[in-house]
Structure 1
Amino acid sequence: MPVPKSEFDDLRPLAFRDPSEVLDPDEMYTVYEIARLFQGLDPGTDVDPETEAILLDWTIPWMVYHADAFVFAEPASDADPGLYGLAVDGGGAETDSE
């Protein structure tokens, strides 16, 4: 059920951090690790499935919104998740050039 705003003493603007503030530019991460980092947790933190689902609910739209800031790598096998990292310039995919 909706809750009246008047019941809260502290209402803050919704603000998301830039991917470069969350990720190390030299690392690649699973979406699960990014979800933890996005919330200020260590990427190896153990969380219950319900919490993980909530973390992913916030992280996936954030990643889509900032898609130009990410690169991805295919998983080592079909059983492994893909890996994501920051694009070299933070604003587009890395490319090989001669």
Structure 2
Amino acid sequence: MPRPKESFEDIFPCEFYTPEELLDPDQMYTIREIARLLQGLDPDADIDEDTEAVIVDWAVPWVMLNADDLVIGEPPTEDAPGYYGLRTDDGSE
């Protein structure tokens, strides 16, 4: 159900990190790790499954929105997650 803006004590701008602000150019990250970074956490932070599910839901659209600035690394095994990294000036790794 919608709520009036005045019912909130604080309202903040909806701003997200750019890939350059978020990712180390020499590293590749899973969606789960990107989700943690978007929340200001360490990529290997221990969080509960429910929280992880919510932040991953935010990370997937972020990756899609920023796809032009990212590269994808093939998963090391069939059942492993994919890895994403920052695209460099030459358009690759």
TM-score over 0.5 (shorter chain): yes
Runs of 4+ displaced beyond 4 Å:
none
Q: Cα deviation per residue 1:48-96 (whole Å; 9 max; x = unaligned)?
A: 111111111111111111100100111111121111100012xx8418x
| Partner of residue 77, structure 1 | 77
Please tell me whether residue 8 in structure 1 is matched to residue 12 in structure 2. no
Matches of 2:8 and 2:82 in 1, distance apart?
Answer: 40
Shift in Å, 1:3? 2.1
Q: Greater Rg, structure 1 or structure 2?
A: 1
Q: Cα deviation per residue 1:13-71 (whole Å; 9 max; x = unaligned)?
A: 21111011111000011111111011110011111111111111111111111100100
Matches of 1:39 and 1:13 in 2, distance apart?
Answer: 15
| Partner of residue 88, structure 1 | 88
Q: How many residues align?
A: 93
Please tell me whether residue 48 in structure 1 is matched to residue 43 in structure 2. no
Question: TM-score, normalization: structure 2?
Answer: 0.91
Matches of 1:6 and 1:38 in 2, distance apart?
Answer: 27
Unaligned runs of 5+ in 2: none
Matches of 1:71 and 1:93 in 2, distance apart?
Answer: 8
| Partner of residue 68, structure 2 | 68
Cα RMSD of the aligned pairs, angstroms, is 1.5
SS in 2 for 1:71: strand
| Equivalent position amino acid for 1:43 in 2 | P
Question: TM-score, normalization: structure 1?
Answer: 0.87
- % same residue: 51
